[in-house]
Structure 1
């Protein structure tokens, strides 16, 4: 395996139901800016339909204190296993990563909470590019912000 290719995974629990977390990222990503306004400024549909394979999403977000953009294509949605695959095709992340796929899976737990798994499968442009630890942390905190938004009393 090349030193440029890698995979990061993060797994953690949230109080939000797994189906809700999945539904937000599959069918309503344009609402994420209302749930996590310090991280996501906008998510706009650029092509296709929300909730469908092939949808093109334009994200405006704040990462590491800077405004950034990303265009992603939805490669796969599995409403049974509550998983989604996004492929980054344009934007700030493509300045460092030749390829970046983002997988998110929500697994229901017996107490109606969820186990969330984010996976980054990537290929760096060169050896000087850092591993995407900071971006993974961003995704984890994004899910946690959405959880707080929906479960605060």
Structure 2
């Protein structure tokens, strides 16, 4: 009964004096913050909750009385698993976005390198000739090499 009386008095303060600092603080704590929290609930949250309730009901139906003890011991760990899976999936999505963005940039870089390479390959090259020897070696080691002369 005391709890009900306290809540009625808090509601009365919010209704009678909403512009006072206490009234604004109560309004923020009892109306705005819960409304913001409830506004963030999505279909996925509702589906996950329904799935958990169905799992608990199925386990209780199969095992009976022992299921209550089992579920009460496992619930903290199960909730931590759910949080871990949720955080891991968010990290996976973030890494996927980073990898896709990186691959797009790398693909563009490779395209630029390939275009530059094709320009280099297609460029006409100067024809190189072999250098012509203008001197012949002497047959005799004692003689100096002579210049080749046309006959």
TM-score category of the 2 structures, normalised to the smaller one: under 0.3
Q: Between Structure 1 and Structure 2, whose CA radius of gyration is higher?
A: 2
Question: Which protein, 1 or 2, shows the higher relative CO under an 8 Å CA cutoff with sep ≥ 6?
Answer: 1
Structure richer in strand, relative to its length: 1
Structure richer in helix, relative to its length: 2
TM-score normalised over the length of structure 2 = 0.21
TM-score normalised over the length of structure 1 = 0.21
